[in-house]
Amino acid sequence: MRVIFTSDDLLDTRIAPAPDPMWELVLSVQRLRDGVPVSRHGVWRQRVRHHLVGEGDLLGRVRRTLMPLLPGSGTVPDFLVPDGEAGDSADDRIGAVASAPPHRPGPDDLRALLRDYHACAIRPYWDDVRSSVESDRLLRARSFLDDGIHGHLRSYAPFMRWEPPVLHVPGHGDGDVHLDGSGLLLVPSHFCGRRTYVRRRAGRATVLVHPAARSDGGARAPGGALARVLGTTRAAILVAAETAATSGELGRRAGVSAPTVSHHLAALRNCGLLRSFRHGPAVLHVRTSTGSSLVRTAVLTTVAADG
């Protein structure tokens, strides 16, 4: 599949600010039916299957209704991913599911099934989903800061290939998607498999859902050498501060409660590992060069010890 940009589309290319709850829900159904026992989602699949069995006939309802709608290599029906912005609540997005296909439960039954499945398979794992998507956003932000929009689009290689003005993406067929000035919204997804999903929206940016990048060794730093020096919480915050973020965003990235963040930010700032600055109404925090050097050294030390 070829996604063709104009100069206006390049200016209006952006990344979703948070996981999209409906895309994560429907793509997780595909991962649930995958037959590969050892995979990125293997532990999640085992736990969710066990949980669904314990919820009456919920696993049977998912198999009878959701899995036929969402074959592992097929498309995602538009009615299951109603328009909305990433970050809208799952209840709002599920409530927007307007209709069901012929010979399937009515919309109320389908919405109830989606809510029940979400409660078992998505909500308990939302921190993992959010962390996965945030890691991808950090990677793309760094690529953009270093090399601009072309560097950002090149960062998706080898999964997607940028040959200006065309982004080559895996998908069904060899069709062309002309953005025609609508722009592109890239939506990284924790549960997306090895393909992408493109959705055109009238008068709005075209959506391109793609698998979030896998975390590398940097994610292990809080549990290794860095944590032994700074403590687990401060290490997690310092790793999360690769790009500028508010204290609330850093707390979500690091899995730290909001009241705890400010205290640790002050300690890291006083040590010269972090700096804070005002950007409009918000105060942003980002690692200093000293802080980044410390993180890189800790990661190298951890990798060497593991090797």
Per-position pLDDT tens, the chain of length 307: 899 999 999 999 999 988 999 999 999 999 998 766 556 788 898 899 989 988 888 999 999 989 988 876 667 888 888 776 655 788 888 888 865 555 455 555 888 999 999 999 999 998 788 878 887 887 888 789 889 999 999 999 888 999 999 999 987 666 899 999 999 999 999 999 888 899 888 888 999 999 998 654 444 444 467 888 898 889 989 988 887 888 988 888 887 887 889 899 999 999 999 999 888 888 899 989 888 888 877 766 554 444 4
CB-based contact 34:72 (threshold 8 Å): yes
Sequence-ordered list of residues with C-beta below 8 angstroms from that of 50, at least 6 positions apart, any chain = none
Query: What is the model's pTM?
Result: 0.73
Sequence-ordered list of residues with C-beta below 8 angstroms from that of 24, at least 6 positions apart, any chain = 122, 129, 189, 190, 191
